[in-house]
C-alpha cells in the first residue's frame, strides 16, 4: 500500500504523528488494510540533468594481480569543477581496473587513509570467506588489510567496492569502486573485439556540488535509494567516445547505489548480449533494450557498421513502468558515441559461446523463501517517535552476531525472493556463489535476456517473486546476502548464511 493511499484510507494528514490514544485509533484503522505492515513512503524520482557530451571518455588505469589500493580523500573533476571525492587512487573517482587470468594468485593490500573503517568486497569473485569483504572484516582508520586469493573461476566481469555495514552506501556514492576483469582460454578463443575496441563502462549517478559529493539521505531516500542528477561513465559526466564502423565490446557495470537503467541506443541498434554477472552465456541474445540494476553486469556487442561517419549515437536509459514510484520515470542520455571513420571488420558473432549445465529445481535439497517487501517498525508504545519504515528480509534486520541460515556444502538449494507485496525494486545479491534464475512470477512474469547463465544479483521488481537455484560448493564459511540497493542494505536489508 502506498503512503498516500493509506492516508486516504485512514483520514490522516500527511504530517500526522500518532501518540497516546491516537495510536490506538491508528491500530484500529490498520485492521481494515489489506497489508497493514507494508506501507511505502511517497518516494519520488530524482531527474537526471543531461550535459553537453563534450568531455572525452577516459578509462581507469589497469592493474594486475599484485597491487596496493589506497582508500583516501582525493579530488576529481566533475561537471567542470575539481571537487573532493573518495578514491582508491589520487585524482580519480574510481579505482584501477584489475585484469587477471584464471589461475593467477592475487595479492592486494588495502591501505585505509580514511578517518573511518572500510574494507573491500570482491563482488562476483568466488574466494575464501575471510577474503570476501564481509562487514566484520575491516581495516580501521590508518590500518591495512591484505587480500590474498587465487582466481579459480571462468572469465567474466566482476567488481569491487567497500562493504562496512552502515557506511557502504556513503563510501561507494562518494567514489570507492572499480572493475575486476577475469580472462581465460575459453573466452580468448572466441576472438571478441579487444584492445581499443573493448570498452569497460562503469555507469553511476551522483549528486555534485562545489563542495563535493554530499551523502545525506532523508527517510524517503532511504526507502527509494539515494539517486543523483548527474550520470557518470568511468567518472566522467556526459562523456563521448569516438568509434569506427565496426563491432565493439561494451563491458557494462551498474555501479550506482540505487538507480536502475533501461539501456538502449538512440538509433535503435541491436545490443547482442554475450555475458552477464557470471561470464559468458550459452548463446548470444539480441535485444533492443535491457534493464540493469545496481550490482549487475552486462557484456554486450554493438555493431556501428552501416552508420555514416559524422553521426552521433547515444547510449540511453529508456523509461519503464514497473519500478515503483522513484524509478523509470524519465528517458535520458548516458553517453555519446561519435562515429568517425569507416573500418573493415571481419568479426562475426559466434553462434555458441560457452557450455553451461542447466540446473533444475528438482536437484535442490531445500527451498528457502525470503520475504523482501517493506515492513513497518514501531518504536515503543505510545509511538513517541512516530512510525519508521525499515527494509527487512523475513522480518529481520541485519545482525552481525547472528547466523540466519545454515547451508550444507556441496548441495543445491532453491531460494525464493518474494516481493509480491512490495512497492520498491530489490536487486538481491548473494556473496560467495553464483546461481541460475528459474522463474519470475508476477510483475514482468518472465526472465530477461540477461538472466540466462550464471548470476550473482537478480532484480526483483514490485509485485514479483523470483526463484533461483544455488549450487553451494565447498567454499565454507560465513557470507552475507542482501539487497544491492545500498541504502536498503545499510538500512538492515541483509542477512548471513553459514556454509559448512
DSSP state of 131: G
Go through the domains of the chain in sequence order and give each one's CATH number: 1-36 (no CATH), 55-188 (2.60.40.420), 195-341 (2.60.40.420), 361-499 (2.60.40.420)
Query: Structure pTM?
Result: 0.91
Chain segment 120-167, per-residue pLDDT in tens: 999 999 999 999 999 999 999 999 999 999 999 999 999 999 999 999
Place of cell 548470476: 455
Per-residue pLDDT at 277:
98
Per-residue pLDDT at 418:
98
Per-residue pLDDT at 388:
60
Chain segment 383-412, per-residue pLDDT in tens: 334 446 789 999 999 999 999 999 999 999
Cβ-based neighbours of 172, under 8 Å, separated by 6 or more: 161, 162, 255, 257, 486
Intervals of the chain under pLDDT 50: 1-40, 376-387
Distance CA 175, CA 138 (A): 18
Per-residue pLDDT at 35:
39
Per-residue pLDDT at 373:
86
Task: Measure the N-to-C terminal CA separation of the chain; round to a whole number of Å.
Answer: 40
Per-residue pLDDT at 43:
81
Place of cell 518474494: 418
For 87, 92, 110, the CA distances from 84, given in Å and listed in that order, are 10, 10, 21
For 61, 125, 255, the CA distances from 203, given in Å and listed in that order, are 17, 20, 6
Distance CA 173, CA 168 (A): 8
Per-residue pLDDT at 333:
98
Amino acid at each position: 500500500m502506498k503512503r498516500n493511499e493509506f492516508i486516504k484510507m485512514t483520514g490522516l494528514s500527511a504530517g500526522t504523528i500518532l501518540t497516546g490514544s491516537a495510536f490506538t485509533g491508528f491500530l484500529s484503522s490498520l485492521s481494515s488494510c489489506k497489508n497493514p505492515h507494508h506501507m511505502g513512503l511517497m518516494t519520488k524520482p530524482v531527474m537526471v540533468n543531461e550535459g553537453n557530451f563534450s568531455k572525452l571518455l577516459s578509462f581507469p588505469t589497469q592493474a594486475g594481480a599484485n597491487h596496493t589500493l589506497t582508500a583516501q580523500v582525493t579530488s576529481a573533476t566533475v561537471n567542470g569543477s575539481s571537487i573532493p571525492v573518495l578514491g582508491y587512487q589520487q585524482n580519480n573517482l574510481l579505482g584501477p581496473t584489475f585484469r587477471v587470468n584464471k589461475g593467477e594468485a592475487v595479492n592486494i593490500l588495502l591501505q585505509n587513509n580514511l578517518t573511518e573503517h572500510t574494507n573491500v568486497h570482491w563482488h562476483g569473485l568466488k574466494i575464501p570467506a575471510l577474503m570476501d569483504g564481509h562487514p566484520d572484516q575491516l581495516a580501521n582508520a590508518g590500518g591495512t588489510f591484505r587480500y590474498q586469493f587465487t582466481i579459480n573461476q571462468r572469465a567474466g566481469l566482476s567488481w569491487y567496492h567497500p562493504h562496512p555495514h552502515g557506511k557502504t552506501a556513503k563510501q561507494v556514492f562518494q567514489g570507492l569502486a572499480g572493475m575486476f576483469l577475469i580472462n581465460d582460454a575459453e573466452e580468448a578463443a572466441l576472438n571478441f573485439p579487444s584492445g581499443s575496441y573493448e570498452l569497460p563502462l562503469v555507469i553511476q549517478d551522483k549528486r555534485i556540488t562545489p563542495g563535493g559529493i554530499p551523502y545525506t539521505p532523508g527517510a524517503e531516500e532511504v526507502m527509494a535509494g539515494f539517486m543523483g542528477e548527474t550520470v557518470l561513465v568511468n567518472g566522467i559526466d556526459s562523456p563521448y567516445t569516438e568509434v569506427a564502423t565496426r563491432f565493439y565490446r561494451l563491458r557494462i557495470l551498474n555501479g550506482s547505489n540505487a538507480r536502475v537503467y533501461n539501456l538502449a541506443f538512440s538509433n535503435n541498434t541491436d545490443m547482442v548480449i554475450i555475458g552477464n554477472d557470471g561470464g559468458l552465456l550459452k548463446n548470444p541474445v539480441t535485444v533492443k533494450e535491457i534493464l540493469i540494476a545496481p550490482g549487475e553486469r552486462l557484456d554486450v556487442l554493438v555493431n556501428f557498421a552501416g552508420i555514416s561517419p559524422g553521426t552521433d549515437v547515444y547510449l540511453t536509459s529508456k523509461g519503464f513502468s514497473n519500478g515503483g514510484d522513484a524509478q523509470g520515470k524519465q528517458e535520458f542520455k548516458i553517453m555519446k558515441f561519435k562515429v568517425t571513420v569507416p573500418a573493415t571488420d571481419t568479426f562475426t558473432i559466434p553462434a555458441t559461446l560457452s557450455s553451461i549445465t542447466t540446473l533444475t529445481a528438482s536437484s535442490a535439497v531445500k527451498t528457502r523463501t525470503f520475504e523482501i517487501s517493506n515492513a513497518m517498525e514501531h518504536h515503543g508504545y505510545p509511538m513517541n517517535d512516530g512510525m519508521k519504515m525499515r527494509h527487512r528480509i523475513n522480518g529481520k534486520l541485519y545482525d552481525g552476531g547472528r547466523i540466519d541460515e545454515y547451508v550444507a556444502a556441496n548441495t543445491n538449494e532453491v531460494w525464493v525472493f518474494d516481493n509480491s507485496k512490495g512497492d520498491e525494486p530489490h536487486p538481491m545479491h548473494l556473496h560467495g556463489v553464483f546461481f541460475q534464475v528459474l522463474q519470475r512470477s508476477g510483475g514482468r512474469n518472465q526472465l530477461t535476456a540477461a538472466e540466462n547463465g550464471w548470476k550473482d544479483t537478480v532484480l526483483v521488481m514490485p509485485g514479483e517473486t523470483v526463484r533461483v537455484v544455488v549450487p553451494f560448493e565447498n567454499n565454507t564459511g560465513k557470507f552475507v546476502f542482501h539487497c544491492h540497493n545500498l541504502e536498503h542494505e545499510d538500512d538492515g536489508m541483509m542477512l548471513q548464511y553459514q556454509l559448512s
